[in-house]
Amino acid sequence: MPPTVVKSRPAHRCSECGATSPRWVGRCPECQAWGTLAEVGGGASGGLRTVAPGPVTGRARPIAQVELEGSRAVPTGIGEFDRVLGGGLVPGAVLLVAGEPGVGKSTLLLEVAHRVAESNGPTLVVSGEESAAQVRLRAERIGALHPHLFLAAETELSAVLSHVEEVNPSLLVLDSVQTVRSPAVDGTDGGATQVRAVASALTGVAKARGMTVILVGHVTKDGAIAGPRALEHLVDVVISFDGERHSTLRLVRATKNRFGPADEIGCFEIGDGGVVGVPDPSHLFVSKRAAPVAGSSVTVTMEGSRPLLAEVQALVATNNGGGSPRRAVSGLDPQRLAMINAVVERRGGVPLGGSDVFAASVGGVRILEPAADMAVALAIASSAKDKALPVGMVAFGEVGLSGEVRRVGGIGRRLAEAARQGYTLAVVPPDPGPVPRGLRVVEVPDLGALLNRLF
Q: Any binding-site annotation on 296?
A: no
Q: Any binding-site annotation on 105?
A: yes
Q: How many Å is the maximal CA-CA distance in the chain?
A: 82
- CB 39 within 8 Å of CB 10: yes
Q: Any binding-site annotation on 100?
A: yes
Q: Any binding-site annotation on 287?
A: no
Rounded Cα–Cα distance for residues 75 and 139 (Å): 21
Cβ count near 436 (within 10 Å): 14
Rounded Cα–Cα distance for residues 193 and 33 (Å): 14
Rounded Cα–Cα distance for residues 98 and 285 (Å): 24
Q: Any binding-site annotation on 99?
A: yes
149 strand-pairing partners:
123
Q: Any binding-site annotation on 324?
A: no
SS3 assignment for the chain:
CCCEEECCCCEEEECCCCCEECCCCCECCCCCCECCEEEECCCCCCCEEECCCCCCCCCCCCHHHCCCHHHCCECCCCHHHHHHHCCCECCCCEEEEEECCCCCHHHHHHHHHHHHHHHHCCEEEEECCCCHHHHHHHHHHHCCCCCCEEEEECCEHHHHHHHHHHHCCCEEEEECHHHCECCCCCCCCCCHHHHHHHHHHHHHHHHHHCCEEEEEECECCCCCECCCCHHHHHCCEEEEEECCCCCCEEEEEEEEECCCCCCCEEEEEEECCEEEECCCHHHHHCCCCCCCCCCEEEEEEEECCEEEEEEEEEEEEECCCCCCCCEEEECECHHHHHHHHHHHHHHHCCCCCCEEEEEEECCCCCECCHHHHHHHHHHHHHHHHCCCCCCCEEECCEECCCCEEECCCCHHHHHHHHHHCCCCEEEECCCCCCCCCCCEEEECCEHHHHHHHHC
Known binding-site residues equal 99-106
Known binding-site residues for ATP equal 99-106
